[in-house]
Amino acid sequence: MPTEPRRLIVDRQIVEDAWTHVADDAPLPAGPAIVSRERWLAGDAAGHAPLGVLYQPDEDPLADVDRLGELALIAFAFPAFSDGRPLSRARKLRQIVGFTGQIRAVGDVLRDQILYMWRCGFDAFEVRADKSLEDALAAFAEFSVDYQASTPRRLSEG
């Protein structure tokens, strides 16, 4: 029985996910792949394009700044909604490094945090399977005025 394609929010729209999360011991697919930082640094995904890396909360992409140009996507794992380290890391990727690829939130991604994540530089959200994507998308329309600075994104805000 074929599985339904995974859907997520990208650039404030619900889309089918073209990317495949690949376990460390699994072969790379023909298309876009997201691998662990460990697998990427070991060179196991060398030459694969497009390539994304999933960073765990205790892994800092700034430690890999010289190689980030190899990546089309950087994903951050949110194993619990209370761990905010990826928020500051996404902001640094946009503001300090100038990363223009997709920055994706993966894991315990909740509606109440999506607008704030977007303002920190995230532009893609894998919402928890038990939550509604349509409801999460509505979070972008809840506030019409920003009261603090936000991070530039690759998304045109026009």
The answer as to whether 137 is a domain residue is yes
Domain that holds residue 28: 7-141
Say which amino acid occupies 17: D
pLDDT digit string (tens) for 77-127?
998 766 778 999 999 999 999 999 999 999 989 888 898 899 899 999 999
CA 52 to CA 31: how far, in whole Å? Answer: 11
**Domains contained in the chain, number:** 1
Please check the confidence at residue 157 and state whether its pLDDT lies above 50: no
The answer as to whether 146 is a domain residue is no
Our measurement of the distance from residue 123's CA atom to the centroid of its chain's CA atoms, rounded to an integer in Å, reads 7
The pLDDT of residue 5 is 74
Supply 26's token pair. Answer: 């699994």
The answer as to whether 96 is a domain residue is yes
pLDDT digit string (tens) for 136-156?
999 888 876 565 555 555 443
Please check the confidence at residue 133 and state whether its pLDDT lies above 50: yes
The answer as to whether 132 is a domain residue is yes
**CB neighbour list of residue 111: distance below 8 Å, 6 or more residues apart:** 127, 131, 135, 136, 138, 139
The answer as to whether 54 is a domain residue is yes
Q: Do the Cβ atoms of 19 and 33 come closer than 8 Å?
A: yes
The answer as to whether 123 is a domain residue is yes
Please check the confidence at residue 158 and state whether its pLDDT lies above 80: no
The pLDDT of residue 151 is 55
What is the rounded radius of gyration, in angstroms, for the C-alpha atoms of the chain?
Answer: 15
The pLDDT of residue 84 is 76
The CATH number that applies at residue 27 is 3.20.20.70
The answer as to whether 2 is a domain residue is no
pLDDT digit string (tens) for 41-91?
999 998 899 999 999 999 999 999 999 999 999 999 998 766 778 999 999
| Backbone φ, ψ for residue 136 (5° rounding) | -65, -40
Query: What is the C-alpha end-to-end distance of the chain, expressed in Å?
Result: 42
CA 58 to CA 131: how far, in whole Å? Answer: 26
pLDDT digit string (tens) for 15-47?
999 999 999 999 999 999 999 999 999 999 988
Supply 114's token pair. Answer: 């999506």
Strand ranges inside 11-139, DSSP E: 13-16, 20-21, 33-36, 51-55, 73-78, 102-107, 124-126
The answer as to whether 1 is a domain residue is no
